[in-house]
Amino acid sequence: MKWSLIALTALACTVFAAPRQLSAQASKQPLTVTTAQLKHMQSTLQDWPNLARYRKEDAALPPVAPGEQRVVFLGDSITDNWGRHVGTFFPGRPYVNRGISGQTTPQMLVRFQQDVVHLHPAAVVVLAGINDIFGNTGPSTQQMMEDNFTSMAAIAKASGIKMIVASITPAPAYPWKPGINSAEEIRQMNQWLKDFCARKNLVYLDYYSAMADDKGGMRPGLSMKDGVHPTVAGYAIMTPLAEAAIQQALQQK
């Protein structure tokens, strides 16, 4: 119990020590943490990759039917929102949404066995990286992201699963993390992802080129007010691109 309290306190200082809070500390004002924040931190300590999110749904998913080609979409909030809060998610298709809002590539790597491999899909679509750039689970370098994508691809190959790697969608800034200019980092990471797919014979799913403006943000009407999450119009562009990439991957030998 003592160590849990110490860990929670340390996590609270790390997660919630935003610049204005640090200024408050400097002026001798106490750092406050709400009950909801404490519960969130406790949950994070107990299940950092959030394996609990889909554990029951994974167990309840029926076996793949003869001739069926199941596809898992692994990702963050952009995947999580798809068909649940915004747009439609491939009606009538044997596609499974396994997105979790806020997640980073290391969390998805830990989830890859439970939420992808154990579901026996023919293919997986991985859309990830924006939250790494924004530091959701701590500072992250491009090399760290590259390593995680490389590891997921290796697991997919060993499991006989075709892997489709999606570009990071445009996002010039992140309202919840002011001061981070992500446009150039996204361009650099997308170039690496494209080159990586070419080297490993994977399908590269290029959402970015179809959605970005000349400043690295989403074109008008394609994103919510936050500039990060797609609107119905945004998902309408993403849907046929994803479908084409899936069919390309499934036809590869």
Torsion angle of the four alpha carbons 226, 227, 233, 237, in this order, in degrees rounded to the nearest 10 = -140
Q: What is the pLDDT of residue 22?
A: 38
Indicate whether 12 pLDDT > 70. Answer: no
Domains of the chain and any CATH numbers: 2-46 (no CATH), 52-251 (3.40.50.1110)
Q: Can you read off the two tokens belonging to residue 88?
A: 């439609």
pTM: 0.84
Region of residue 157 (left: phi > 0; alpha: psi -120 to 50; beta: else): alpha
Indicate whether 14 pLDDT > 50. Answer: no
What does DSSP say about strands 95-99 and 162-166: parallel, antiparallel, or unpaired? Answer: unpaired
Q: Which residues sit opposite 82 in a β-bridge?
A: 86
Please write the tens of the pLDDT for every residue from 199-211.
Answer: 999 999 999 999 9
Contact 89, 107 (CB under 8 A): no
Please write the tens of the pLDDT for every residue from 44-55.
Answer: 788 999 999 999
In a 3-state reduction of DSSP, which class is residue 136?
strand
